[in-house]
Amino acid sequence: MGYAAEYERALRDPEGFWAEQARALPWFTAPRSILDRDPNGAWRWFRGGRTNTAWLALDRHVAAGRGACPGLIYDSPATGEVRTYSYAELTARVARVAGALAGLGVGRGDRVIIYMPMVPEAVMAMLACARLGAVHSVVFGGFAAPELATRIDDATPRVVLSASCGIEFDNVIPYQPLLDAALAHANHKPEHVVVLQREARAADLRAGGYLDWHEWEAGAAEVGWVEVDATDPLYILYTSGTTGKPKGVVRDHGGHAVALNYSMHAIYDIGPDDVFWAASDVGWVVGHSYIVYGPLIRGCATVLYEGKPVRTPDAGAYWRVIEQHRVKSFFVAPTAFRAIRKEDPDCRLKARHDVSSLRYQFVAGERLDPPTYHWLKEHLGIPVIDHWWQTETGWSICANMAGVELLETRAGSPTLPVPGYDLRILNEDGSELGPGQVGAVVLKGPLPPGSLPTVWGDHARFEASYWSRYPGFYLTGDEGYRDADGYVYIMGRMDDVINVAGHRLSSGEMEEAVAAHPAVAECAVVGIEDPDKGQVPLGLLVLKDGVNVERAALQQDLVRSVRETVGPFANFRRAVVVKRLPKTRSGKILRQVLRKMIDGRAYPVPSTIDDPAIMDEIGAVLVAEGVMAGPNPPQGGVSS
């Protein structure tokens, strides 16, 4: 069956289609219904089914005689270690970590925060929580203390699992100062903190009253899995919101497993004997879906890579990993290849490695710019597949489905919607737009399995954020269009989330850090196009009257403040002083208009702006500061 027939079948009979996909997995108890609504009115899949994600990912493969097969391949240029864990070895370790968590009182429904680098124990911790029916929330190891504290307060974990340090290039990043500060700042106090000591930098566990991971795990007995409902939460993953307060995206056990198992073969063309590599981090949704759960549920080997695309040791690092582990499908953000291309534009380092195992190159996390797409096509000679999805959906909304039917790829497009997603392009009044017309990208409900059913502890925010703007449609927050053949093109965010090298960051979080400076009266932070990172934040500042401050020193202060409150990966490096900011008459700052102006895109100025002349005024400052090459006037004047 080709793509068109598969897509039409899922659209016409979603319950029948997903019931068939559910039967591809074993269940302790089969679902009594395929699709219904919960008391909040949210769509839920496979109610009545009983399962356990860790059992699906580990124990059932061992029981089927595949215990000796490779499951997790840990490859760390940061430490020089390469180790493969078989499914049997990984299952035993996970069962022991689960036993250690149970010894701390963790059980079904309890939350555990995991604040760890890319080490095998992070994967084991996630799976151990799933084994117990506990809910994990992984926080990216580079997040600053205030961000970690916010997540601790929202998730209210019984236990925090961490490590003594992370390693990036030649830098060792101690986690204990961040962890100590977060715990001191948080209102909620976890009962226990467990720290994995690493050779690169040990932590003073006695000072914090923390438990040593190795002793903690060694003293535990292996425990079995807990049967959970298909609709029980598996994890909470926080994604940046425009208000500055992150949203806790909830994922369940049943729908998540069914969707990921389907995607592994239908999108990535991966079977149990293959090797899959997603070069991401377990702190992001890609790490959840396609480093840990998707590959292991499918029964293949998955690569856990603790390194970078360059300087570990060079721009040939990825080709070495593909050759050494015989990777079939590789998935990474475009920013990684932009870094490789910058250091090795002719891709000469690839010639040193046999990458003949690689059948598909997948990219996602940010827009794949046409130059990078064409560079990959030229040097790889295999399908280069851009696909688009979100933390909220957990898997692809649009993709070229390698396991169903490979279609023509087009630069700048993630191809067509995946079965289960009814994608539309709407204008502001909710009317559907035709080919070539840019509008809001929305998805008609119900969303397929694997998508978020709520926001942790705040269902009203779930409704307001995603379903209120266009009733009956999920608002992706992205704008885009479809061409005459239906191919989808995603142009960028409608809201104020900034995508820095695939990391979704809130402009509000950075604005809070900038506005805290005593010289700043008000500010706006917008994401502007960058050839290496996709987007980088730019601060526009209005200073307080009478303030006399040296501009270079001010910028250094602001960069340091954002690094400390958000994290160094925010890449906040530039702030420009302006006399005033463009606002609507109600006081809303026009960040989207600023972003489009700086990026050289058309920006019809809304009629609600308090003074249209301000755009010319700011544009002149940005040209003088070298942010813009030249003036970029609005197209069509002031819009009505």
Residue 353: φ, ψ to 5°: -130, 145
Domain boundaries for CATH 3.40.50.12780 within the chain:
17-307
pLDDT the model gives residue 505: 75
**Kind and range of the H or E element at 95?**
helix 87-103
- Specify the pTM: 0.84
Residue 573 — pLDDT band, cuts 50, 70, 90? confident
pLDDT the model gives residue 258: 98
**Digit-coded pLDDT (tens) for 436-461:** 888 899 999 999 999 999 999 999 99
Q: What percent of the chain has pLDDT over 70?
A: 95
Q: How many residues does the chain have?
A: 640
pLDDT the model gives residue 241: 58
Residue matched to tokens 């609709």? 231
Query: Residue by residue, what is the 3-state secondary structure of 141-185?
Result: CCCCHHHHHHHHHHHCCCEEEEECEEEECCEEEECHHHHHHHHHH
Residue 291 — pLDDT band, cuts 50, 70, 90? very high
Answer yes or no: is pLDDT of 414 > 50: yes
Average pLDDT over residues 334-343: 87
Cα 400–chain centre separation = 20
Cα 219–chain centre separation = 35
- Under 8 Å CB-to-CB from 294, ≥6 apart: which residues? 260, 261, 263, 264, 276, 395
Provide long-range contacts, Cβ within 8 A and 24+ apart, for 628-633. 628/597, 628/598, 628/600, 632/597, 632/598, 632/600, 632/603
Answer yes or no: is pLDDT of 342 > 90: no
Residue matched to tokens 């799933």? 130
pLDDT the model gives residue 585: 53
pLDDT the model gives residue 584: 62
| Between 611 and 634, residue with greater pLDDT | 611
- Kindly state the tokens that stand for 387: 């696909």
pLDDT the model gives residue 610: 64
pLDDT the model gives residue 366: 76
- Judged by average pLDDT, the poorest of 26-35, 299-308, 547-556 is 547-556
- Judged by average pLDDT, the poorest of 115-119, 142-146, 545-549, 604-608 is 604-608
Most confident range, picked from 240-249, 280-289, 566-575, 605-614: 280-289
Answer yes or no: is pLDDT of 162 > 90: yes
pLDDT the model gives residue 636: 44
Answer yes or no: is pLDDT of 266 > 70: yes
Answer yes or no: is pLDDT of 489 > 80: yes
> Whole-angstrom Cα distance, residue 370 to residue 158?
47
Q: What letter would DSSP give residue 133?
A: T
Average pLDDT over residues 77-92: 97
- Kindly state the tokens that stand for 368: 């794949």
Residue 532 — pLDDT band, cuts 50, 70, 90? confident
- Under 8 Å CB-to-CB from 236, ≥6 apart: which residues? 111, 135, 136, 137, 155, 248, 249, 250, 251, 456
pLDDT the model gives residue 498: 77
Q: If one looks up domain 502-639 in CATH, what number appears?
A: 3.30.300.30
**CATH classification number, 17-307, choose in 3.30.930.10, 3.20.20.70, 3.40.50.12780, 3.40.50.1370:** 3.40.50.12780
pLDDT the model gives residue 606: 63
| Between 492 and 215, residue with greater pLDDT | 215
Average pLDDT over residues 3-22: 98
Rounded mean pLDDT of the chain? 91
Average pLDDT over residues 317-340: 94
- Kindly state the tokens that stand for 496: 């104020």
| Between 532 and 38, residue with greater pLDDT | 38
- Judged by average pLDDT, the poorest of 62-66, 313-317, 476-480 is 476-480
Answer yes or no: is pLDDT of 303 > 90: yes
- Judged by average pLDDT, the poorest of 34-43, 141-150, 409-418 is 141-150
Answer yes or no: is pLDDT of 213 > 90: yes
Residue 640 — pLDDT band, cuts 50, 70, 90? very low
- Judged by average pLDDT, the poorest of 5-14, 233-242, 482-491, 535-544 is 233-242
pLDDT the model gives residue 592: 79
Neighbouring C-beta atoms of residue 74, cutoff 10 Å? 19
Which pairing describes strands 473-482 and 135-138: parallel, antiparallel, or unpaired? unpaired
> Whole-angstrom Cα distance, residue 220 to residue 211?
13
Answer yes or no: is pLDDT of 20 > 60: yes
Average pLDDT over residues 237-250: 79
- Judged by average pLDDT, the poorest of 124-138, 473-487, 501-515 is 501-515
DSSP 3-state helix, strand, coil percentages of the chain (rounded to 5)? 35, 25, 40
**Digit-coded pLDDT (tens) for 350-389:** 999 999 999 999 999 877 878 889 999 999 999 999 999 9
Answer yes or no: is pLDDT of 633 > 70: no
pLDDT the model gives residue 428: 87
Domain boundaries for CATH 3.30.300.30 within the chain:
502-639
Residue 588 — pLDDT band, cuts 50, 70, 90? low
CA angle centred on 361, ends 326 and 89, rounded to 5°: 40
